[in-house]
Amino acid sequence: MRALTVFGVTGRMGQAVLRAVRESDDFVVAGAVASAASARLGGDAVLDGPPCGTPVSADVAASLAGASVAVDFSAAAAVPDHAAACAAALVPLVVGTTGLEPRALEALREAATRIAVLVAPNTSVGVNLLERLAALAARGLGPTFDVEIIEAHHRSKRDAPSGTAIRLGEAIAAARGGRLAEHAQYGRHGEPGPRPPGAIGFAVVRGGDIVGEHTVLFAGDGERIELTHRATDRMVFARGALRAAAWIVGRAPGLYRMQDVLDV
């Protein structure tokens, strides 16, 4: 049985992870962390459903005591402190938080010198398979096919394009022997002119309660291929996060991705 600490436990994904734990025979909740300003401090970690018996706490170090792994779906600004605390406690970490700034990425790299750290902007197994398929298509179709990545999320999502869309772009650019920074086009308006050769375009939709949709469009002369993943329930991310958490326990220090989990 693995003991799990959840960062960002009062958020939608934090609660989904707790539901996934309830479904699982492999995990128990060791700690439940929210910000010091949370009105839920001291209450049971489960906000809607049978209580799990673990109180919400802002004490990161105490919440990691006895944990065998941690999952972070908190605010991006909190990730550096969580990474440092996990490194100090020698607890491996799965990070599903998106919109990470350079400071957070550097903190995760530093933590990875002491513990195993898996960074996944999307923990869905299906969407990570989409990444593989997109790279395969990019290699097979070649540079004559134009690439557009279209993503849609709920109205409250903070970052755009999504971390998943960026990762898809990176995988496609790498499959073509380049870097995304050299080819990305983020939005168009006015008179942008003809599409540059090799461009990887991004389109963003925000509205309603859309959980997450990603389409990679390969458009050639006379034919078109579309690869699409649609998430209709956040539980797919929670179950994927638990799969990653189970996988990372016992791994050597270093940075890992969901693609490593799929390789098992």
Domains, the chain, ordered by start: 2-123+234-262 (3.40.50.720), 125-231 (3.30.360.10)
Q: What tens digit of pLDDT does each residue of 206-250 get?
A: 999 999 999 999 999 999 999 999 999 989 999 999 999 999 999
Which pLDDT belongs to residue 233? 92
Name the pTM for this structure. Answer: 0.85
Of the listed 153, 183, 214, 229, which one is catalytic? 153
Query: In the numeric block, which tokens belong to residue 236?
Result: 């797919």
If you ran DSSP here, which 8-state letter would residue 143 be given?
T
The segments of the chain whose pLDDT lies below 70 read 264
Alpha-carbon torsion (8, 11, 12, 15), positive or negative: positive
Give me the helix-helix angle, 79-89 and 102-111, nearest 10°: 10
Sheet of strand 200-206: strand arrangement: 184-186, 200-206, 146-153, 212-219, 224-231
Known catalytic residue: 183? no
pLDDT at 263: 83
pLDDT at position 97: 92
pLDDT at 264: 57
3-state DSSP helix/strand/coil percent for the chain, to nearest 5? 35, 25, 40
Q: Return the pLDDT at 48.
A: 86
Catalytic residue list contains 189: no
Looking at 82, 154, 157, 214, which residue is catalytic?
A: 157
The pLDDT value given to residue 184: 97
